[in-house]
Amino acid sequence: MDLKDLLDSEAARINSPAFIADDPVQFPRRFDDPRDIEIAALLSATIAWGNRKMICRNCDKMLSLMDNQPFSYMMDEGYEELPDGNIHRTFFVDNLRHYMRGLRRIYAAHGSLQQFARHEDISSDNAPAWKLVEGINREIAAANDSVCDSRCLPQNLATTALKRVNMALRWLVRNDGIVDIGIWDVITPAQLYIPLDVHVNDTARELGLLTRRSADRRAVDEIMTSLRRFNPDDPVLYDYALFGIGMKL
């Protein structure tokens, strides 16, 4: 079996409805309103690091704090009344408040995150996810007396792999009707970047898709060059393959 056949086979095996129940993608999938889906996707992805069971438990807890109505809760500024406490590992209620103030500013001005992405013209950028985060960070700071918070989104955009936002964008943009939700058309699946973490980085190097050891932005660019050779229209499909192969290594 050549490498493309291996990647295609593993992607088909993992990209199935059975994947949803143990993955944080289940949380934005709970909703029908695109605004709820967007907010749940961003916030769930924000805390998606560490043990998957813990991630899912804490995503559920976070959405419960919002009465499972993230858009209405945000617009009503319910987060201002939350008692201090922990959400997930090093992400606290204070970080959630900081984030939601910025998101509320975006939704009040643009109606949805996708419309904000259009306003920022992310589709014309070679790295749409990084362009989007640049804009969101600007709005978060503006809503918080010019204070930035790296617990919400990375600030070091020149070097970060932007793993969690790239995962949220995979959920929002990929549209094969299986795991990912595919409600956005501001960019195409061809413009997505893989959510690169240490495990995917290690698997990609084992397969010869990547030489760089650090799971940073340069590594994302390198692995995407490799994956686009196999599937230029939907290269991030292979995120599933690398996850599945990584479980076997």
CA–CA gap between residue 38 and residue 156 (Å, rounded): 23
- Decide: 103 and 72 in contact? Cβ < 8 Å: no
Write out pLDDT tens, residues 200-224: 999 999 999 999 999 999 999 999 9
Helix, strand, coil percentages (3-state) for the chain, rounded to 5, are: 65, 0, 35
Taking residues 217-240, what's their average pLDDT?
98
- Enumerate residues 6+ apart whose C-beta is below 8 A from 135: 116, 117, 119, 120, 122
Average pLDDT, the chain: 97
Residue 249: what pLDDT?
64
Number of structural domains in the chain: 1
The confidence band for 144, taking pLDDT boundaries of 50, 70 and 90, is: very high
Q: 146-188, pLDDT tens digit by residue? A: 999 999 999 999 999 999 999 999 999 999 999 999 999 999 9
Q: Are 129 and 166 in contact (CB under 8 A)?
A: yes
Q: What is the domain extent for residue 202? A: 3-248
